[in-house]
């Protein structure tokens, strides 16, 4: 079991930036990738992007359009989601999750989830 804690969410004006963090602890040896997902009220949880833990390779959903960047700090067991040029439609609870498979493209492939952090973008 891996424990994940997201942080960094908050309220930001449209066009602003936020950096989310996902700190991992516990049995992380089987984790191949870290994914980011988001869920807005009344909507399905959707894939945002993912990073391969050892290689650092990344892939993203189309809606990112170059605005978001995922990175990781291996020494800190922490993944990051840098979000720039935020839009009101980015408002959602953002989650990180561990996965054994690569690439990560759906939540069914994920093993452990954090509690989520709220991101609200005002217009």
pLDDT per residue as tens digits for the range 59-80: 999 999 899 999 999 999 999 9
Looking at residue 27, its pLDDT comes to: 83
Please say whether the beta carbons of 50 and 67 come within 8 A.
no
Q: How would you class 123 by CB atoms within 10 Å of its CB: exposed for 0-12, middle for 13-18, buried for 19 or more?
A: exposed
Whether the per-residue pLDDT at 29 is higher than 80: the answer is no
Q: What's the mean per-residue pLDDT of the chain?
A: 95
């Amino acid at each position: 079991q891996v424990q994940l804690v997201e942080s960094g969410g908050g309220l930001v004006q449209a066009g602003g930036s936020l950096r989310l963090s996902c700190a991992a602890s516990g049995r992380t040896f089987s984790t191949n990738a870290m994914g980011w997902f988001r869920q807005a009220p009344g909507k399905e949880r959707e894939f945002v992007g993912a990073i391969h833990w050892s290689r650092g390779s990344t892939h993203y959903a189309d809606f990112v359009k170059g605005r978001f960047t995922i990175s990781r700090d291996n020494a800190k067991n922490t993944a990051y989601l840098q979000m720039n040029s935020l839009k009101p439609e980015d408002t959602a609870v953002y989650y990180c999750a561990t996965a054994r498979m690569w690439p990560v493209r759906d939540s069914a492939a994920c093993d452990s989830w954090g509690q989520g952090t709220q991101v609200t973008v005002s217009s």
